[in-house]
Structure 1
């Protein structure tokens, strides 16, 4: 009798385990196809967007588009001033954001003590990375355009965009510095190196691939931003090239926005051509970031 009861108990336990296993497998399949569906939908939308832009913009994509200024006629409209203005803007944004961002990351990781004040700074930097870009535009308008009297200039736009991407660069640089093994730094200290010598000769060379990748991706975001530059008063129509840091300017996203707001259908096609050029710039920058990461990243 006891043997029969034990067998029945074992059988019920096996049935219960089989049911649980079947339930887990079912949930796994459901979530698997859910994630596949989400990925497929995202890729489909991206393909539709790219195909639509290519079909509309390839007809207007030629050398005249790159070598001509903005015009009231879609046949004569070009993106030269916006293209050069974008290069000027990135020429200001890149060094300022790199120096401030990497310097902040080095201080927080290698010099600052682990206390409440440091934790407060770290929390604020992380929160700033999620602040809407228009808020940075208002900040740039108040500080750089009005208080510092820089006007609607390249330097004001570059400083504003540097503030926008600064939190991203700080966080990315911190993660790159943290990835350096501690035994490398300890070996440097054991050889008699100072803290700065260790940072300069050991930490930075090992972390520079991750730092550069984060900087390039942050600059890629800055190239596509429009709201902060509109807030500081970047021009929507310009028929000259910037001559210096205090010159007025426009950038490609603003020029594209200006074309899409026109009622003429031809301007929309020109805007699609401008989008293709902007996407090519972003693709090149992101490809360079991936190449730097794969080329120079060390395996410890």
Structure 2
């Protein structure tokens, strides 16, 4: 089977840069999904509200396609960000979660409580779909900041116990980002570990406080980091295509050249900074699920 016959689904796609990159590298029928289509989206976006049962059924129907190669999830992390704990001014966003209460502080009320409940519903559904993808033999990746409370919710911890997972922690500035943001991608394939690159301090970083968005509005710099840099998307897509090639899928010659070039660059960055690839997440697979 040629890779052009397969496709990926990007869930919570934002600007859909990853989906657009996947299309450019051969996954022509790829689908981007989000509740709203953002201004400047790089691909067509199927607007699905994944708190709606009918929209969930449609997405799960797409997952039944034998041509689906890969699913990527990026659940919104605003309520789960530890950046809220860094308070310099009274108007800074307040913490909504803690290590003791990763599902939400018991003191929450009003709009804050509602936001956390919505996020929790989508966190839980993300983990359900990830597990469904793994069981169906689909490649799966999920992204959030490295220190996000998402990683310590009951739903993700349960996912760790039932699936063999691998992790890549990296500074986005090494993959085209403007700031030294630690990002984590967890996957069900070990090739993802090639993205584990720490900042080599060979470049400057933009400030983390306030910045201007594309409309000239003053916003928190963290909001500008939600869109994936193109270089990061290329690296992620190429890792997936590398796995696809090992499955026997025939890649475009250009994709193979890009994979080789990307891996050499990643290896060189790790060597120059004295780093080694991160170790995989321990395979916490119950005995009953082992072959």
Same fold? TM cut 0.5? no
Which one has a bigger Cα radius of gyration? 1
Structure with a larger share of its residues in helix: 1
Question: TM-score w.r.t. structure 1 length?
Answer: 0.27
- Relative contact order (C-alpha < 8 Å, sep 6+): which is higher? 1
